Amino acid sequence: MPNLLEIPFKRTHNVPIRQTVREYILANHSDVHPDAFKWDINQWGTLRKQAVDRTVHVDHVKVSLGYHAQLVFILTKLPVDIGLDIPYTPLFSPDGPPITLRNLAYERAAVLFNLAALYSQLAHREDRSTADGLKRTVAYFQSAAGTLSHLSTSAAQKLEASVADNETILEFSAPFLSALENLMLAQAQEGVWQRAVIDNLKNGVIAKLAAKAASFYRSTLQTIREASPAVMHLFPASWLAHVEIKASHFEGVSQYRKSLDDNAAGRYGEEVGRLTQALAIVKKGHDLARRSDVNEAVRQDIKSLLNTVQTTLRTSERDNDLIYHQVVPSAALLPPIAEVSMVQPIIAGTLADPKTAIPEDAVIFGELLSHGAKLAIEIYHDRRKNWVDEEVVDRARRLDDDCTSVLGSLGLPAALEALEKPVGLPPSLLGKAEEVRREDGPSKIEASIENVQKLAERNMDLLNEAFDILDQEAEEDEVFQAEAPAVRAPSSEANQALVAKAQRYKGILDGGMQSDAIVREKWEQWERFITQLTWSNDELERAVPSSTAPLPANKPNARNPNPTQGHARQLRVLLETLDDLQRSCAQVVTRATRLSESEDIAPRILKAAAAVERWVEVQPSMFEDVLDEELAKYEKFRAEIEGSEQKQGRTLDSIKERNDLFLQCRKDDPSVKEREHALQSLDLAYHKYKEITRNLDEGLKFYNDISDILGRLKQDCIEWCNHRRNEMQYVSPAGCLMDLLVC
């Protein structure tokens, strides 16, 4: 009966690779059709089916290495989350519920783990009574250790970086993997020690080999005990006892073999001292073996060693007392036994360099645009949109707003129009009224306000449903905690991340609703004037009072100038200059927007991506130079906006100065004042109409965007609560969480 431990496989189930990958390509790669990758998708499914087969045969090593290599390449093309649910059972709970993640890095880590398990099981099945069998045993255990080491330093780290805190898989944590790696090295060293015994090497050499085996077992035990309780509880109690017994066994063997070496060298006192120390160590291990559920072979091994040490110690003590009379040193004074390691983690060449495992023309998704390159394109689109919005569109809009604000405070152009055209309506106002009538402005605003309100209420309902789901689970958990206290953290602690996220979104929604209220208040304030703009021209003309006759049209002579008319003419010139600047800004916005809509950065990214070596995981940061060069094309638009900003500032200053002179010279005519006020109100109503519609469009976009986020939050709450309920189904009568936690 083997006296070594083998790592069990992590079990899995079939996953819908074909359907999920096709849906992912359809949704994320509009330039290609999934049928173009029919072979790749089918090959992936075939390779996975072969790799997850739990056949213990040396040929299966190549299958696992090949599938792992394909996964490494696939992860250079696809993100970890393509919507594929990947289930693997906990290591020591194969019949319990699987841990399922939408994460291809999880698949890769599990494949590597099962490869290490395969190596350990191959070693376990070798005939260790022969030299060749021992040689293969040692090699397999070293390969298992190397695979675990590679898993810990590569795949496990990438998995940890790609999952949320509540999705961390403890079986892929550094302490768990390190403990298993040390265990595999310990068992490999034990094989080397056994070969040395079969070959009758010197006792001093065998003692050193045994000392290192004991050290590996002790390191395994120390790593487990120093890990968190959650990690320590992953290991069965029988495994912990096995490792501790083995450590005691080989410490005892090391001292026993060194005592034989001391005897041969005439160090009879040291011989007795070492045998005494060996007896104490082996007794401790034997006592643990008698009360632990360990393999019978392990129990018999340490019992046999105990008998041997006891018999040898009696003989050695008698001989030293009767014949040699040497001083027996205490354990602290005995020279330490040097440890000699003959094993190390071995990483298969195709594991360290996956591209050597499969031909270049056989890689899956070799022609698919990598996720990193695709993400770089998306990042550029977002960066370009944000840049154009912030540096061109928003700045132009602020210039318009500043212009409207300044002119509104000065009562322009209404003051001029009231003076120049005492009856009728100015053409500029007629054009604005026509635009509002054409868009049916008031009805448009009312409909948008209603739509915004409905979306806000729907989003709040989604958020409240998420809270209700968590509250219901918390009520169920209170009952569960009363029946099985301390089995798991209460909901008030376990759901903190989800609750905090929901509270954060509630604050965002509350802020959005406050903004909605401001927009509604603005609409109520200006509704009457905006509605007037929808009237017919005749109705508008009747609503705007006429003033007295305009200033005399006769040209003033040098001796009798008309200052008011002169200032009015200069003001009109400045206002026309301002209109030209605003049109120029609008043209800059149009040109920048058209360029951003027509530009395609994909060819440059594809060219840059093609220069990256295959098998290298493409990251968006690799294309920063390309993105910066492409974005630099838009700098000219910012420069033009900045130039317009400076010109507008100077023009507005001139308008303010000229308006002061105009007001000083203008007659204080009440009818002119009344007409001016009416025209100004209608002009401001138009600008408020544009402002309100813009606010409502932004509100609609805000609620549509956050709706998707809240839908995902609700689904996360449902999945989390279902997981908690599934846990409750695996509680033993003793109050332990079976298959998920270790009693």
The most confident of 420-424, 655-659, 736-740, by mean pLDDT: 655-659
Separation between Cα atoms, residue 545 and residue 531, nearest integer Å: 18
Write out pLDDT tens, residues 23-38: 999 988 887 899 999 9
Structural domains of the chain, with CATH: 411-548+672-743 (1.20.140.50)
The reported pLDDT for the residue numbered 672 is 60
Average pLDDT over residues 515-525: 90
- Burial class (CB within 10 angstroms; exposed 0-12, middle 13-18, buried 19+) of 271: buried
Separation between Cα atoms, residue 726 and residue 10, nearest integer Å: 20
> Is the distance from CB of 15 to CB of 48 less than 8 angstroms?
yes
pTM: 0.66
Average pLDDT over residues 149-169: 90
Pairing of strands 99-101, 86-88: antiparallel
Query: Half-sphere exposure of 462 toward its Cβ, with a 13 Å CA cutoff?
Result: 23
Q: Return the minimum-mean-pLDDT range out of 455-464, 582-591, 649-658, 719-728.
A: 719-728
> Is the distance from CB of 185 to CB of 193 less than 8 angstroms?
no
On the question of pLDDT at 166 being above 80, the answer is: no
Percent of the chain with pLDDT over 70: 90
Task: Read off the tokens for 390.
Answer: 């912030």
Report the DSSP beta bridge partners of residue 99: 88
Q: Return the minimum-mean-pLDDT range out of 55-69, 83-97, 151-165, 645-659.
A: 645-659
Average pLDDT over residues 372-391: 86
On the question of pLDDT at 182 being above 90, the answer is: yes
Average pLDDT over residues 349-374: 88
The reported pLDDT for the residue numbered 426 is 73
> Is the distance from CB of 89 to CB of 10 less than 8 angstroms?
yes
Average pLDDT over residues 676-684: 78
Distance of CA 603 to the CA centre of its chain: 28
Cβ atoms within 10 Å of 703's Cβ, excluding its own: 24
Q: Quote the mean pLDDT of the chain.
A: 87
